[in-house]
Amino acid sequence: SEFPDVFPDELPGIPPVREVEFNIELISGSEPISKAPYRMAPVELKELKDQLQELLERGFIRPSVLPWGAPVLFVKKKDGSMRLCIDYRELNKITIRNRYPLPRIDDLFDQLQGAMHFSKIDLCCFHGFDESNLSRDILVFSKSKEEHEDHLRTVLQTLRQEKLYVKFSKCEFWLSSVAFLGHSVSA
């Protein structure tokens, strides 16, 4: 209840300008890619029109005449609504992947030694944002209740400060065991 702005029902708009600008780097000499749209049922076309109109009104998208284009499709969510997905596979083929070294898994597990309390925080992503170069999950772990409360507050304050948002329904707080990198970790 202390951080309602970090857990909005809807994303408030496009993210603010950040200190570090993220660019998608392409293989040198790559030509623009434009794929034909996929066939859609009338109900999907109506849903597409409605979702695009909402994204346009909220400032998430804008009209473009660039020579780039990717087809869209819908995936049915558990609640029956439809998630708009963009098929960026052709773009991904000419995208240079980030080459930041990942931490060693055994080093990550070593950091969890002695932890008694765990929380998982799932960041919201914006429509059409390529998640292949990032992780959305934050694992908070602590040795005591007091320390965990402080750690959670610090993480949530940082998210607030950076205008990053969390979907409350996908978070788990105050766990005694947690799934981490395909392993079950417990106190």
Report residue 50 as tokens: 């409605």
- Is 107 in the same domain as 179? yes
Burial label for 178, CB within 10 Å (0-12, 13-18, 19+), is buried
Mean pLDDT by 10 residues, the chain (187 residues): 88 79 89 96 96 90 93 92 93 89 86 94 64 68 97 96 89 92 85
Domain membership flag for residue 156: yes
Q: Are residues 158 and 179 in the same domain?
A: yes
The reply to whether 174 and 134 lie within a common domain is yes
Domain that holds residue 65: 42-93
pLDDT at res. 137: 83
Task: Locate all alpha helices (DSSP H) within 38-169, ordered by sequence.
Answer: 42-57, 89-93, 105-111, 145-161
Q: Are residues 88 and 133 in the same domain?
A: no
Q: In this predicted structure, what is the pLDDT of residue 9?
A: 86
| Judgement on whether residues 86 and 126 belong to the same structural domain of the protein | no
Residue 152, pLDDT score: 97
26 domain-assigned: no
Q: Let me know if residue 25 belongs to a domain.
A: no
- The answer to whether residue 34 is domain-embedded is no
Question: 89 and 50: one domain?
Answer: yes
Indicate whether 30 belongs to any domain.
no
On whether both 121 and 142 belong to a single domain, the answer is yes
pLDDT at 22: 76
Query: Per the domain annotation, does 56 fall within a domain?
Result: yes
CATH code of the domain in which 143 resides: 3.30.70.270
7 contacts: CB under 8 Å, gap ≥ 6: 165, 166, 167, 168
Helices (H) and strands (E) in the chain, counts: 4, 7
Q: 69 and 109, same structural domain?
A: no
Are residues 123 and 56 part of one domain? Answer: no
> Can you list the positions of beta strands (E) in 12-71?
none
Instruction: Clarify whether residues 86 and 109 are in a common domain.
Output: no
Q: Is residue 53 part of a domain?
A: yes
The predicted structure's pLDDT at residue 125:
66
The tally of domains found in the chain comes to 2
- Round to whole Å and give the CA distance between 12 and 126: 10
Whether 50 is in a domain gets the answer yes
